[in-house]
Amino acid sequence: MTGWAQLAFGLDWVRPPRQMIGTAFWYVQTDQWRYDRLGADLLASPLGEGRFKGRTMIDTLAQSARSGWMPSYPQFDRNPLDIVAEADAAGMAPADYVTEQLKGGDLKFAIEDPDAPGNWPRILTVWRANLLGSSSKGNEFFLKHLLGTANAVRADETPEGERPVDVAWRDDAPEGKLDLLVSIDFRMTSTGIFGDVLLPAATWYEKHDLSTTDMHPYIHAFTPAIDPPWETRSDYDIFQGLGRRVSELAHGHLDTRKDLVAVPLLHDTPDEMAVPAGIVRDWKTGEVDLIPGKTAPKFVVVERDYTAIGAKMSALGPLAETLGMMTKGVHFMPTEEIGLLASKNGVIPDGPAAGRPSLVTAVHACETILALSGTTNGRLSVQGFEGLEARTGQVLADLARENEGTRITFPDTQSRPVPVLTSPEWSGSEHGGRRYTAFVINVERLKPWHTLTGRMHFFLDHDWMSEIGENMPIFRPPLNLHRLDGDQRTGAGREVTVRYLTPHSKWSIHSEYQDNLFMLSLSRGGPEIWMSPQDADAIDVKDNEWIEAYNRNGVVVARAIVSHRMPAGTVFMYHAKDRTVDVPKTETSGLRGGIHNSLTRLMIKPSHIIGGYAQLSFAFNYLGPTGNQRDEITVIRRRSQEVDY
Q: What is the pLDDT of residues 581-623, one digit of tens each?
A: 889 999 999 999 999 999 999 999 999 999 999 999 999 888 8
pLDDT confidence of residue 626: 80
pLDDT confidence of residue 104: 96
C-beta of residue 611 within 8 angstroms of C-beta of residue 618? yes
* Residue ranges in the chain modelled with pLDDT below 70: 214-215, 509-513, 629
Secondary structure of 82-118 in HEC code, one letter for each residue: HHHHHHHHCCCCHHHHHHHHHHHCCCCEHHHCCCCHH
pLDDT confidence of residue 512: 63
pLDDT confidence of residue 207: 96
Residues 6+ apart with CB under 8 A from 411: none
pLDDT confidence of residue 368: 97
CATH, range 2-209+252-301: 3.40.50.12770
Decide: residue 517, CB within 10 A, 0-12 exposed, 13-18 middle, 19+ buried: exposed
- For the 482-638 domain, the top CATH level (class) is mainly beta
C-beta of residue 62 within 8 angstroms of C-beta of residue 24? no
pLDDT confidence of residue 437: 84
pLDDT confidence of residue 430: 87
Give the integer Cα–Cα distance in Å for 590 and 636: 16
pLDDT confidence of residue 307: 98
Domain boundaries, the chain: 2-209+252-301, 482-638
Secondary structure (DSSP) of 201-212: B--GGGS-EEEE
